[in-house]
Structure 1
Amino acid sequence: MQLITRPVLRLLRPVMDYALPPRCPGCGIIVEDDDRFCLPCWSSMTFLGEPCCDRCGIPFPYDMGADALCGPCLANPPSIDRSRAVLAYGDLARTVALKLKYGRRIGLSRLIAQQMVRHVPLDAGENVLIVPVPLHRWRLWWRGFNQSALIAGQLARATSISVNSELLVRTKRTPPLRNLNPMARKKIVRGAFALSANAKAQLKDRDIILIDDVHTSGATAEACAAALRKGGARSVMLICWARVLPDAPDD
């Protein structure tokens, strides 16, 4: 079957917009274009960025200088070399994440990836590899897709960075980590991730961008980073859609 060309799509766009108008990913009202939030939803989002801890990305109240670290990172440096998130976890960030994960709105992976681009290092070159946090095979079978892999694929398209969604494997089926304390989360995911066959040849001296949808305690990302480093990765950076800030609920 012949694919519809871009010129034809441009001609059909007014008809498509009339029949299926673009809607805000947050509240669902009609908006001007695809992947756009309405003004009230956009205004309600708390975007994360500078100034922040150079390592974990926790926001600072003011600029503390280049390479400044927060107290927890100074006392107990995480395995992740750098963590960044698009948004602070809140009502809208949760809504978008749930629509993608459980509502099967897979087109939202493109929107999320577009917002992640600003956190990709400007000097990212051929040595960088995008890797999504994997799902266990039974959860993947039940859901039908891995939301982190969808986001990773869209980010790869937007940045022209290579992606490998099969390199990291979830070998242990873990229960939901919601409402568990950080120590319990860390214990549950310990040993839950492994590398696929021939992964070490692809990982040696590579800089990895690990992709996840929501960052809570960081236990999952830390377990993934441990497996990647064991396989020879030079560094691991985490980029996610939303993260739970200290003292914020992670429901």
Structure 2
Amino acid sequence: MIEHVADLIFPEKLNCIGCDLEYESRISESFFCEKCLDQLKVEAAKCQKCDRPIEQIYDQLEIYQYKCKTCQEQFHYYKRHISCTHYDALAKKMILGLKYKGKTEYCKGIAELMIKRLIEEKLLDQIEVMVPTPIHWTRKWMRGYNQSELIAEALIRMLDREMPVGKLKRCKRTKKLKKLDKDARKQMLKDAIMITQEERIKIENKIVLVIDDIYTTGTTVNTCSKVLYEAGAEAIYCITFAMGQ
């Protein structure tokens, strides 16, 4: 079992993925220095469905199985979403750098933190198939890659084990979602994501992990989860690097 993703052999000196400062690997045993690792963390009290920070004191929290008020009111096709950190300055730098500046080296740091969270949530050994969230082919052509696919590849390399990667297809190009609210995103993504029969076979009766860079309203991962659920997945979990506001 992986005790730490940094079971990988590090040289004595490394440059931190987050701030690029040199540090001793034996102190941090991570792709990040201790200062950056301290920034990249999540609240202790989190919704047990979507992973958002949650008030520990609101009425009837235990009755509602430690779900936030949003998750009490809305249906999710995934069993659980977990995130590695908040979308603060460092996480924003990494996500924007990966998506728009070709900083693909950030994938190994993101994968490291995802593995830690999967271990914390006792999910790592359950996952049978990884499924990156898709982007439209025109966007992938312009960017040169799908960042979620790169993160999935980094995860598999780091875990050093065989695991199939399923593919969803973004069959409709949509506007960028970052400025849209949840209802507008849901409408925009309606019928925008599909799965082929060939890919359906990979995920039937399997426990699937959906991978994305950021969770804002949760519409993207939930839409992907709906497609996977209807295609016959046994259970769907989702993981993202950062939790948006």
**CA 1:138–1:60 in 2, change beyond 3 Å: closer, same or farther?**
same
Q: Percent identity?
A: 27
CA distance in 2, matches of 1:212, 1:138: 18
CA distance in 1, matches of 2:53, 2:155: 24
Q: CA deviation at 1:200?
A: 2.2
AA in 2 matched with 1:24: C
Correspondence for 1:96: 94
Gaps of 5+ in 1: 1-8, 246-251
Number of residues of Structure 1 aligned to a counterpart in Structure 2: 226
- 3-state DSSP of counterpart to 2:129: strand
The whole-number CA distance in structure 1 between the counterparts of 2:164 and 2:16 is 29
Pair 109,127 (structure 1): closer, same or farther in 2 beyond 3 Å: closer
- How do residues 153-232 of structure 1 correspond to structure 2 at under 5 angstroms? 153-159=153-159, 160=161, 162-165=163-166, 167-232=167-232
Q: Identify if the C-alpha distance between structure 1 residues 46 and 126 changes in structure 2 by more than 3 Å, giving closer, same or farther.
A: closer
Helix, strand or coil: the match of 2:50? coil
In structure 2, C-alpha distance between the alignment counterparts of 1:128 and 1:50, rounded to whole Å: 27
Q: Please name the residue that 1:60 is paired with.
A: 54
> SS at 1:198's partner residue?
helix
C-alpha separation in 2, matches of 1:161 and 1:80: 24
* Structure 2, unpaired ranges of 5+: 1-8
Deviation of 1:237 (Å): 1.0
Residue 16 of structure 2 aligns with which residue?
24
SS of the equivalent of 1:73 reads helix
Matched, 1:36 2:32: yes
TM score, norm. by length of structure 2: 0.82
2:102 is the counterpart of 1:70:
no
SS at match of 1:241: strand
Match of 2:79 in 1: 81
What is the aligned partner in structure 2 of residue 5 from structure 1? none
> CA offset at residue 37 of structure 1?
3.2
CA contact (8 A) 1:129 1:161 kept: no
Instruction: Give the conservation status (yes or no) of the 8 Å contact 2:45–2:54.
Output: yes
Cα distance in 1 between the residues matched to 2:219 and 2:180: 11
8 Å contact kept, 2:134–2:148: yes
TM-score by length of 1: 0.80
Distance in 2, matches of 1:126 and 1:46, equals 25
What amino acid sits opposite 2:77 in the alignment? Answer: S
Q: Which residue of 2 aligns with 1:248?
A: none
Q: Using the TM superposition, give the Cα deviation of residue 32 of structure 1 relative to its aligned residue in structure 2, in angstroms.
A: 3.3
Residue 144 of structure 1: how far off its partner (Å)? 1.0
Give the letter for the 1:238 counterpart. C
The structure having more radius of gyration, on CA atoms, is 1
With 120-129 and 170-179 compared, the bigger mean Cα shift is at 120-129
- What SS does the aligned partner of 1:130 have? strand
Deviation (angstroms), 1:61? 4.1
Root-mean-square deviation (CA, aligned residues, Å) is 2.6
Task: Quote the offset at 1:146 in angstroms.
Answer: 1.0
The amino acid across from 1:181 in the alignment is: D
The alpha-carbon deviation at position 137 of structure 1 amounts to 0.9
CA distance in 2, matches of 1:158, 1:42: 18
Give the Å deviation of 1:235. Answer: 1.5
| Paired position in structure 1 for 2:45 | 51
Whole-angstrom distance in 2 between the partners of 1:127 and 1:103: 31
